[in-house]
Amino acid sequence: MQRASDFFNREQRKNIEEAVVNAEAKTSCEIVPVVATASGRYDRPEDIIGLWFAILAAITVWLMFPRRSDESGRWDGMPIYVGLLTMVAAVLVAFILGVVAGSRIGWLRRLYTPRNQMLKEVSARAREIFFDKRIHHISGGTGILIYVSLFERMAVVLGDQEVLDKLGQASLDSLCRQLTEGLHRGDSASAMCSVITEAGKQLSVPLPRGEGDNNELQDTLVLID
């Protein structure tokens, strides 16, 4: 599964942070880009995949070591307890391998995770980060979070009250669509830089940067593994 710390190289991180500096030079808002490996734990897919692996292992053992009905004059059949122990061992090992595969293989894990659940987890995690990173405490209510969650392949753009009043939710949703479309094309760093630049441009008119505005948060890309 793709980790946030490995998603951008050093040059790409630098470009994103420069985009934040340039955007904030035009507006009093504080723009915080965050990339997370995942927003939720999602235990259910691991159990389901483990169960499928266990079922396949049971079928495989059954086909490899079929039980024959007793035949007159034969004593070379496998004792029943050997077959049972083989079955139990194969099922246990397969279940563990399935759980490990479900926890490490992103596309397989997503396959068994309901989209609505991922959407709820991403939204909740974005709001949690909005408060944890003190974006909500920006003076004047001018903080904006640009959040990307890699496992779910979803993004959220959150604005504090003043940003919502000046831009409106529709503008934030438009920025989010611009970001997700760029991420879908595979040019992640450029997509992030582009949406940060566009946010600064849109915010520069209703919330221009004043002479007394201080930089309240570091202009860094936040990576959460």
Which of 93, 111, 129 is a domain's end point? 111
Q: What local confidence, expressed as pLDDT, does residue 63 receive?
A: 79
| Number of domains into which the chain is organized | 2
Residue 86's pLDDT is what?
A: 80
Spatial contact of 101 and 49, defined as CB atoms under 8 Å apart: yes
pLDDT band at 77 (very low <50, low <70, confident <90, very high): low
Kindly tell me if the per-residue pLDDT of 110 is higher than 90: no
Residue 198's domain is classified under what CATH number? 3.10.310.50
Same domain, 124 and 176: yes
Residues 181 and 164 in one domain: yes
Q: Are residues 213 and 131 in the same domain?
A: yes
Which of residues 68, 89, 111 is at a domain's end?
111
What pLDDT does 26 receive?
A: 92
Q: Round the average pLDDT of the chain to a whole number and report it.
A: 87
C-alpha distances out from residue 133 to 31, 159, 175, 190, Å: 11, 13, 21, 24
Do 123 and 214 share a domain, yes or no? yes
Please indicate whether residue 20 or residue 76 has the higher confidence score (pLDDT): 20
Distance separating alpha carbons of residues 30 and 135, to the nearest angstrom = 8
Alpha helices in the chain (DSSP H): 10-24, 44-64, 80-104, 106-111, 115-132, 161-167, 169-185, 188-204
Name the DSSP letter for residue 151: T
Residues 193 and 127 placed together within one structural domain of the fold: yes
User: Same structural domain for residues 9 and 72?
Assistant: no
The owner of tokens 């919502």 is: 164
Task: Please give the structure tokens belonging to residue 38.
Answer: 């995942």
Tell me the backbone φ, ψ of residue 144, rounded to 5 degrees: -140, 130
Q: Please say if the pLDDT value at position 171 is more than 90.
A: yes
Dihedral angle, C-alpha 151, 224, 168, 30, nearest 10 °:
-160
Task: Verify that 181 and 75 share a domain, yes or no.
Answer: no
∠180-167-177 over CA atoms, to 5°?
Answer: 10
The verdict on 27 and 55 lying in the same domain is no
In this structure, the answer to whether residues 36 and 52 fall within a common structural domain is no
Q: How confident is the model at residue 81 (pLDDT cuts 50, 70, 90)?
A: low
Is residue 19's pLDDT more than 80? yes
Task: Tell me what percent of the residues of the chain surpass a pLDDT of 90.
Answer: 50
Q: In this prediction, what percent of the chain has a pLDDT beyond 70?
A: 91
pTM of the model: 0.78
Residues 12 and 83 in one domain: no
pLDDT, tens digit (0-9, with 9 covering 90-100), for 174-221 = 999 999 999 999 889 999 999 999 999 999 999 998 777 777 888 899
Q: Domain range for residue 76?
A: 44-111
Query: Does 119 lie in the same domain as 18?
Result: yes
**Whether 17 and 104 share a structural domain:** no
**Which of 92, 111, 130 delimits the end of a domain?**
111
Of 207, 160, 216, 195, which Cα lies nearest the Cα of 28? 207
